[in-house]
A and B are shown apart, each in its own frame.
Chain A
């Protein structure tokens, strides 16, 4: 029988978008869906999670040891729940949290992990991109428990309301004594998050400096868009790492993706080619980005972007 444990993206603020898309993948599997909400001070989040459509039960693990989602503390808790609850599937979002924790869970269960699934063919068979999305593999898990991370852009988010699941506290969280959280530098922005934005304006090496990103920010603010960047722009120090869209950065699929001064390296395309509409602005008409863009404009971005900002 299919019973699925979904590990929610941790946040003390509320239900995060990756949790809803991971639940979208769970819905395709069929079967009972339980969600593990973990962290410190997450009672409110657990209550909100219980209202998500299709969730049968919310397990809430509220403990100081789980405050920062350290894999060393989270994995044993999940493994304990899988063993006592008899789950057939464990799904986590393909966020840096999920990618850090899920393989640790899988190894402790002595099962393989299926990374970054983009499709569910049957309860044991999934599709996933390999070689930066240049090939799509269909893989079948031969293990008794299927542990998978879910690519958010590939699945419909489930409705955040309409459900009324039971909330059950789970204990057993402990400090493994292996790691401690020291601190973080989290970018603060009033703009939407990259992975859930309807529109994204992204800059590449062609922006020439971090200061010039204000051109993109002005356009983004007119469009209610998030601002992203190519690896080249991040490597050059124009913007922080969390702006990066690509194979090793964030995978996005907004309704509109505007690539400015981005040449279109394979690893960048891997992160945005599923966008509904792609616009490319680049002065090099040979740039590979034009091969996948719906609308290409060969122009000097320093003239075209302010003009565009003025006209939208």
Chain B
């Protein structure tokens, strides 16, 4: 079974983002960029399935600017076999990306597509579900366990009340939650090897896909700040404040 994994280049999760003064977005110039953490989990899961003999080939794909090639190389260093970049310099939104991934899935015919459940920049949490819809496939979102069998995959999902297990007909789309696995660090030899792995660059026009955004961002602002609080010296003082000042107990 071939596995397609989609990854996104985002502002590194350790970076404290700053809203641009002109309100058009957040500052991304000279900011450390990395693979979306949920997508690292997706790559790791694919690599583990291959190591367990459940997958034969891992194709990692991204939709984004030239620099997203670095993100793809990271995935190759983790163990993916080859990469495809759909090069696009403008803004990417979930529906457009899902359409590009659909075109690639139709070409590559994977048994499973694995994506992060959301990207930590736009926090949309849509692309996997949209891809499954466009392909007419089943979707196992927010996965904490993925067990492929003959023609099906059992996916345990993190839901509001606890956990839920569904059985999906293959091919299917899976999106990863935090506790599916702990991604490995790529070793230096593997980083070197990844430089020689194939990386194909295509564009949306070639795929016959329209990436024009459907949502227009009118402005981006900082959230309202909480006024700073006080330190209390004892449990007694805390209880007194909660009772008489805040009046919440």
* Structural contact, B242 and A279, CB atoms closer than 8 A: yes
Nearest residue (CB) in B for A118 is B223
Contact A137 B219 (CB under 8 A): yes
Query: Within 8 Å of chain A (Cβ to Cβ): is B159?
Result: yes
**Given A130-B121, A255-B248, is A139 in contact with B130 using a C-beta cutoff of 8 Å?**
no
Q: Which residues of B contact A266 (CB under 8 A)?
A: 16
Known pairs A242-B161, A276-B248; A311 contacts B239 (CB<8 A): yes
Known: A106-B95, A139-B217. Contact between A308 and B226, CB under 8 A? no
A294, B230: Cβ atoms under 8 Å? yes
Q: Hey, which chain B residues are within 8 Å of A247, CB to CB?
A: 120, 123
**Inter-chain contact A311/B162, CB cutoff 8 Å:** no
Cα–Cα distance between A235 and B182 once the two chains are bound (Å):
10
B interface footprint on A109-144 (CB within 8 Å = 1, 0 otherwise) = 011111110000000010001111111111111110
B158 x A96 contact (CB < 8 A): yes
B81 at the interface (CB under 8 A from A): no
Interface contact B249-A256, CB-CB below 8 Å: yes
CA distance A110 to B234 in the complex (A): 57
Q: In the complex, A108 Cα to B172 Cα: how many Å? A: 17
- Majority secondary structure of chain A interface residues (helix, strand, loop or mixed): mixed
Q: How far is the CA of A234 from the CA of B179 in the complex (A)?
A: 9
- B162 partner, pick from A95, A102, A187, A308, beta carbons under 8 A: A187
A226 to B94, CA, bound (A): 35
State A181–B168 Cα separation when bound (angstroms).
Answer: 9
CA distance A48 to B174 in the complex (A): 35
With A96-B160, A182-B167 in contact, do A115 and B134 touch (Cβ < 8 Å)? no
Q: Judge if B154 is at the interface, Cβ distance under 8 Å.
A: yes
The reply to whether A182 and B166 contact each other, CB–CB distance below 8 Å, is: yes
Choose among B117, B128, B138, B168 the residue with the greatest number of A CB atoms under 10 Å from its CB: B138
**Which residues 231-288 in A have Cβ within 8 Å of B in the complex?**
231, 234-235, 240-242, 247-248, 250, 255-256, 266, 273, 276-279, 285
B residues less than 8 Å from A57 (CB atoms): none
Q: Is the CB of B133 within 8 A of A104?
A: yes
**Across the interface, which residues of A come within 8 angstroms of B236, CB to CB?**
311
Q: Which residues of A contact B232 (CB under 8 A)?
A: 295-297
Which residues from 115 to 142 on chain B have a C-beta closer than 8 Å to any C-beta of chain A?
Answer: 117-118, 120-134, 136-142
Complex CA gap A298/B238 in Å reads 11
Contact B242 A130 (CB under 8 A): no
| CB pair A277 B162 closer than 8 Å | no
Chain A residues near B159 (CB, 8 Å)?
96-97, 184, 242
Contact A135 B17 (CB under 8 A): yes
Q: Which residues of B contact A292 (CB under 8 A)?
A: 226, 229
Partner of A135, one of B162, B165, B222: B222
Asked if A178 and B168 sit within 8 Å, CB to CB, the answer is: yes
Shortest CB-to-CB span from B198 to chain A, Å, is 30
State whether A142 touches B162 (Cβ < 8 A). no
> B residues touching A (Cβ–Cβ < 8 Å)?
11, 16-17, 19, 26, 93-95, 98, 117-118, 120-134, 136-142, 144, 154, 157-169, 172, 177-179, 213-223, 226, 228-232, 234-236, 238-239, 241-242, 246, 248-249
Q: Closest 5 A-B residue pairs measured CB to CB? A: A103-B129, A107-B130, A112-B214, A107-B133, A178-B138
